Amino acid sequence: MTFVPNSASARDIAHHLHPYTNLKVHETEGPLVITGGKGVHVFDEDGKDYIEAMAGLWSVSLGFNEQRLVDAAIKQMKELPYYHTFTHKSHLPSIDLAEKLKSVAPVEMSKVIFQNSGSEANDTVVKLIWYFWNAQNKPEKKKIISRIKGYHGVTVASASLTGLPNNHRDFDLPIANILHADCPHYYRFGLEGESEEEFATRMADNLEKLILKEGPETVGAFIAEPIMGAGGVIVPPKTYFEKIQAVLKKYDVLFCADEVICGFWRTGNYWGSQTFGMKPDILSCAKALSSSYLPISAVMVNERVYQACVTESEKIGVFGHGYTYSGHPVAAAVALETLKIYEERDIGAHVGKVGPLLQKGIAGFASHPLIGEVRGTGLIGAMEMVQDKKTRAAFDPKLGVGAKFAKIAQKNGLIVRAIGDSVAFCPPLIITEQEMGDMLSRYAKSLDEVAAQLKADGIAFG
């Protein structure tokens, strides 16, 4: 492809190193340059309209032109554009936001510490776990169990927690003391004749076996997303977290909930932890905390974890952790306004109306010859394309069927996320019934076009 000299695309290729991108392909294909947005729609430099079915990166909950968030940022920029929270300093936005988050937490929490992204939040979680067990005089209890296909970020520590091979390959990850338990994807890993509840029991039993193999005295924490997002929108099997938490309690293993994607009404409740009966000791959140208008994340800890931090910081003389922008006043002010909007507009009730439409809509594709499994809860979902519906056999990864779909969908004005051959949906929470119908229509058109292309290429499926 030839790019116009000095165009945005040409300049991007010349100067910009992109995350999560095939860099060689980018040199010839270039970027989709987005220049504006309104509600659930974004517009490229040519004015073409797209439904953003992924809310950006699972995150723009209130859509792309919420004036109240813009006004909140401007107001705070004029009052106090920056101050830090180090060395006994604070400011009202961070105080108010910490207080608010505690008031809506899924379980009783003691304190809130702020970061700038989900990755940083989970990196902080790792440090807090290690700090906690040192304060408990159990310096050997440092291993953290994540899960295969779990996603927790891309810093050195959080990428180690992430259970996706391409986040580890050639970055020399994972680091020491990070373990990965089974992926609880019943469709893919359930045994023949095994019920969903039996599968959950086996997952919990395998977790216990892993803890015993490593030595309970060495295992400090377990971290999990309520629904695995970037791993493919994998919904936990029935009774899974109930059984997992029983194992963790038995061996005094801290439970950490990664609510970066699932928090703030995404699953139909304020927190994914409420949807699935999770009672975490530590909770991380980001993304929809500010509708992603400004970078901010938070980690909440219970009283037990907080008191351990107090003890250790007293011994050392300082709690030696934090970021220049921890609780940045402008980001905190925007986050506060976001939480106010959720309440004032009863976003939870709205998700209660449109969430079932998404789930019913994607369920309608289950009979399509390309679709093997449909899964989701609330306003998050995915459809997995397979070559053989009966055996659940996947397409050869070299065919890149999921990537083909995403490209065709983009041509049809629909931005989705291809995770292997699973196509994820996570639209802004404000999506209307009419917009939902339009989104699903664009999906149907794209799915039929992919099927036609595969047939034309002589690739059998169904």
Query: Does 181 have pLDDT greater than 90?
Result: yes
Alpha carbons within 13 angstroms on the beta-carbon side of residue 330 total: 16
The mean pLDDT of 402-430, rounded to a whole number, is 97
Q: What percent of the chain has pLDDT over 70?
A: 100
C-alpha to C-alpha distance for 300 and 258, rounded to whole angstroms: 11
AA letter at 76: Q
In this predicted model, what pLDDT tens digit does every residue of 34-76 receive, in sequence order?
Answer: 999 999 999 999 999 999 999 999 999 999 999 999 999 999 9
Task: Assign 5 a pLDDT band (cuts: 50, 70, 90).
Answer: confident
- The confidence score (pLDDT) of residue 3 equals 74
Label residue 324 exposed, middle or buried (CB < 10 Å: 0-12, 13-18, 19+): exposed
- The confidence score (pLDDT) of residue 2 equals 66
Going by C-beta distance under 8 Å and a sequence separation of 6 or more, which residues neighbour residue 197?
Answer: 237, 238, 239
Token pair for 187: 């469709």
DSSP one-letter string for 46-110: T--EEEETTHHHHT-TT-S--HHHHHHHHHHHHH-S-----TT---HHHHHHHHHHHHH-SS---
The mean pLDDT of 161-188, rounded to a whole number, is 97
The mean pLDDT of 140-167, rounded to a whole number, is 98
Alpha carbons within 13 angstroms on the beta-carbon side of residue 211 total: 26
Question: Nearest Cα to 410, choosing from 11, 5, 19, 33?
Answer: 33
- The confidence score (pLDDT) of residue 1 equals 63
Q: What is the dihedral of CA 361, 363, 366, 367, to 10 degrees?
A: -70
Q: Which residue has the tokens 């976001």?
A: 338
The verdict on pTM exceeding 0.85 is yes
Going by C-beta distance under 8 Å and a sequence separation of 6 or more, which residues neighbour residue 292?
Answer: 56, 57, 59, 60, 61
Number of H helices, E strands in the chain: 16, 15
The mean pLDDT of 221-245, rounded to a whole number, is 98
Query: Does 88 have pLDDT greater than 70?
Result: yes
Judge contact between 286 and 312, C-beta under 8 A: no
Task: Assign 436 a pLDDT band (cuts: 50, 70, 90).
Answer: very high
Residues in the chain: 462
In the chain the domains, ranked by start, together with CATH numbers, are: 32-65+346-456 (3.90.1150.10), 68-344 (3.40.640.10)
Task: Assign 6 a pLDDT band (cuts: 50, 70, 90).
Answer: confident
- Cβ-count burial 444-460 (b if 16+ within 10 Å, e if not): ebbbebbbeebeeeeee
AA letter at 442: R
Judge contact between 403 and 321, C-beta under 8 A: no
Alpha carbons within 13 angstroms on the beta-carbon side of residue 79 total: 13
Spell out the alpha helix ranges (H) of 136-239. Answer: 156-161, 186-189, 196-214
Going by C-beta distance under 8 Å and a sequence separation of 6 or more, which residues neighbour residue 6?
Answer: none
Q: What percent of the chain has pLDDT over 90?
A: 99
- Laid out side by side, the sheet with 219-224 consists of 111-115, 297-301, 282-285, 254-258, 219-224, 143-147, 178-181
The mean pLDDT of 183-204, rounded to a whole number, is 98
